[in-house]
Amino acid sequence: MRRACTTCSRHFDVAHQDALAAVQCPACEADGYNRRGIYLSKQGDYQRAVAEFDQALRLVPAHAQASNNRGYARAALRLYDRAVADFDHAIKLDPRFAAAYNNRGLVHMAREAYAEAIADFTAALDFDPAIALAWMNRGFARSAQGLFQEALADLDQAIQLSGKLANAFHNRGFVHTALGDFDRALADYDAEILLKGDRPYAYYNRGFVYTILGNFERALADFDCAIRLKPNFAAGHFWRGDLYRARGETEHAVTNYSAALMHNPAFLVAYFHRGDALHLMGRHAEAAEDFSATIRLDPKNPAAFSNRGQARAAQGEFVLAIADFDEALRLNPKYLHAYHGRGLAYAAQNDHDRAVIDHIEAIRLCPHSAEAYNNFARFWASCPDRGRRDATMAIELAQQACEISARQDWSCLTTLAAAHAENGDFAEAIRWSERALELAPPLQKHAVRETLQDLRGRLS
Ligand SMILES: [Zn+2]
């Protein structure tokens, strides 16, 4: 039998047994399911939304909107294959369906298939250049591919179309950072934070830019905000630790690295940096443990072996230290620090011949390294076996180290001072020590000052 639809008034056929229930034509009924699905999607209830879209498509299999919407809900549920099938279907029904291209692009992006994502966003924009989100998405995909200039143009367009897209500002801030345009990056993160003040990554990224610019106070304030908003923010704790370390506040640095590791026990670099910080503080056993943790996570890391070697040498465990330096050099035969460290460990065992060989090898491999000359100079200036000291050799090598580093390396300058002192020329030693003191980082100034006082005492 036939009835008039209560919504659109069109007549439609009804099977006899449904005569009382059916009040809408299938098209209007499908639209009703579609609307409820959209409502549920907006509430974040994607499971029930999918069920509504199922009903709509059962009634009208060619319902392009419902297919697109179901795809969106499925994508939110991470059912990516089925989501893509829905978008394909919607696009087949309506080849100019801009939103369906945009949504399919988002699934490609979630799968890190950026080239496919860019193609879909481009199709969406061909059919509807007013979709600010599609510009933003393509900008993000292009920046993920390292196409920063193209990404910038897209994000500019997105922001021109809608000044309220916090993500567009966030992504453009990232692109400006990657392009080294730090003032614009800061302005973008400011805009993002003005729109949405509760996003930890906005503060985190801005703090990162402030760190690059050397504005430690503001960087610290931003990392504090990021961590307040996301207390388990491992990377936030880590960067705050690095900031403290750069300021010479090693104690605070260690606390922050520990927090980062509590929230992410596989945070390799956090072990490494905490180990460095502990080593600086003279807590060598704990430092060695951190380098062991680094090695467990990354067994081919020469720096981790070399640093553990240094921590072990500092505890007087020279045999174990030498084994670590050997392993570092097996992994990277050009790893300068390991030659230096092994040279020192040999020297501490009174094996000065081998120490000399390591220093020479380091210079042979890296003839432009101030550090290599510096280390060798230090050997001649302060060899524990006093009979082996050679002030002339020490001065010559230290001068070379200072020249390579343009006299800006405090460590090379202290070695030059030590070489002159060994030569009995205390006035010259004091001159270079004073210069070293000016350049030394906060944590090292104390030791340089003590040496300087000692030298002044010897002069008078
Ligand atoms: Zn109807």
CB atoms within 10 A of CB 300: 10
How many C-alpha atoms does 337 have within 13 Å on its Cβ side?
15
Q: In which band, very low, low, confident or very high, does the pLDDT at 18 lie, cut at 50, 70 and 90?
A: low
Out of 43, 70, 95, a domain closes at 95
Residue 332 confidence (pLDDT) above 80: yes
Please report whether residue 302 resides in a domain. Answer: no
DSSP notation for 159-225:
HHH-TT-HHHHHHHHHHHHHTT-HHHHHHHHHHHHHH-TT-HHHHHHHHHHHHHTT-HHHHHHHHHH
Residues 198-204, mean pLDDT to the nearest whole number: 96
Q: Report how many domains make up the chain.
A: 2
CA–centroid distance, residue 1 to ligand 1 (Å)? 16
CA of 83 to the centre of ligand 1 (A): 28
Span from the CA of 8 to the centroid of ligand 1 (angstroms): 4
Q: Could you give the count of Cα atoms lying within 13 Å of 343 in the half-sphere of its Cβ?
A: 26
Distance 106 CA to ligand 1 centre (A): 34
Cα 14 to ligand 1 centre (Å): 13
State pLDDT tens for residues 73-93.
999 999 999 999 999 999 999
423 is in which domain, residue-wise? 391-460
What percent of the chain clears pLDDT 90, i.e. is strictly above it?
Answer: 81
What pLDDT does 246 receive?
A: 86
Q: What local confidence, expressed as pLDDT, does residue 15 receive?
A: 77
Is residue 315 predicted with pLDDT exceeding 90? yes
Q: Which among 95, 124, 141 is the end of a domain?
A: 95
- The average pLDDT across 301-327 equals 95
Whether the pLDDT of residue 114 is over 70: the answer is yes
| Distance of alpha carbon 118 from alpha carbon 109, whole angstroms | 9
Whether residue 383 is contained in a domain is answered as no
| Cα distance between residue 91 and residue 97, in whole Å | 6
Q: How far apart are the CA of 69 and the centre of ligand 1, in A?
A: 21
Q: What is the mean pLDDT of residues 6-30?
A: 82
| 189 C-alpha to ligand 1 centroid (Å) | 49
Cα of 285 from ligand 1 centre, angstroms: 79
pLDDT tier, 17 (very low <50, low <70, confident <90, very high otherwise): low
CA 454 – ligand 1 centroid, Å: 98
Which of 194, 196, 198, 191 has its CA nearest to residue 176?
A: 191
**Higher pLDDT, residue 163 or 442:** 163
| Residues 205-245: tens digit of each pLDDT | 999 999 999 899 999 999 999 999 999 999 999 999 999 99
62 CA to centre of ligand 1 in angstroms: 16
State whether residue 17 is helix, strand or coil: helix
Q: Which of 314, 313, 295 is nearest to 304 (CA)?
A: 295
State the average pLDDT for the chain: 94
| Angstrom distance (rounded) from CA 160 to CA 168 | 10
The answer to whether position 343 is within a domain reads no
Span 425-439, average pLDDT = 94
Q: Which CATH number do you get for residue 19? A: 1.25.40.10
Residue 20 confidence (pLDDT):
65
Residue 201 has what pLDDT?
Answer: 96
| CB-based burial, 381-414: b 16+ in 10 Å, e otherwise | bbbeeeeebbbeebbebbbbbbebbebebbbbbb
**Ligand 1 center to residue 13 CA distance, Å?**
12
Q: Which residues contact 425 (CB under 8 A, 6 or more apart)?
A: none
103 CA to middle of ligand 1, Å?
29
> How remote is the CA of residue 89 from the centroid of ligand 1, in Å?
24
What's the 20 CA to ligand 1 centre distance in angstroms? 16
Q: Could you tell me the distance, in angstroms and rounded to a whole number, from the CA of residue 21 to the centre of ligand 1?
A: 14
pLDDT (tens digit per residue) in 258-303: 999 999 999 999 999 999 999 989 999 999 999 999 999 999 999 9
Q: In the numeric block, which tokens belong to residue 24? A: 């809408």
Domain for residue 296, yes or no?
no
34 Cα–ligand 1 center, Å: 14
Work out the pLDDT band at 19, boundaries 50, 70, 90: low
Which residues sit opposite 4 in a β-bridge?
11
Reported as a pLDDT band with limits 50, 70 and 90, residue 44 is very high
Q: How far is the CA of 67 from the centre of ligand 1 (A)?
A: 20
Counting every residue written for the chain, the total comes to 460
User: Looking at residues 41-61, what average pLDDT do you find?
Assistant: 97
CA of 74 to the centre of ligand 1 (A): 28
Residue 78 in any domain: the answer is yes
190 lies in some domain: no
Query: How many angstroms separate the alpha carbon of residue 24 from the centre of ligand 1?
Result: 5
Give me the mean pLDDT over the 181-196 stretch.
97
Rounded-to-integer distance, Cα 77 and Cα 100, Å:
17
C-alpha 98 – ligand 1 centre gap (Å) = 26
Q: Separation of 97 CA from ligand 1 center, angstroms?
A: 24
State in Å: Cα 11 to ligand 1 middle: 8
Ligand 1 centroid to 4 CA: how many Å?
8
- Ligand 1 mean position, distance from CA 7 (Å): 5
Centre of ligand 1 from the C-alpha of residue 251, in Å:
72
CA–CA distance, 378 with 362 (Å, rounded to integer) = 14
Q: Is 106 domain-assigned?
A: no
CA of 99 to the centre of ligand 1 (A): 25
Q: How confident is the model at residue 66 (pLDDT cuts 50, 70, 90)?
A: very high
Q: Is residue 326 part of a domain?
A: no
DSSP-assigned states of every residue in 298-321:
-TT-HHHHHHHHHHHHHTT-HHHH
Q: 95, 125, 158 — which closes off a domain? A: 95
- Model confidence at 39: pLDDT above 90: yes
pLDDT for res 122: 98
Rounded distance from Cα 382 to ligand 1 centre (Å): 96
Q: What number is the average pLDDT over the span 328-347?
A: 90
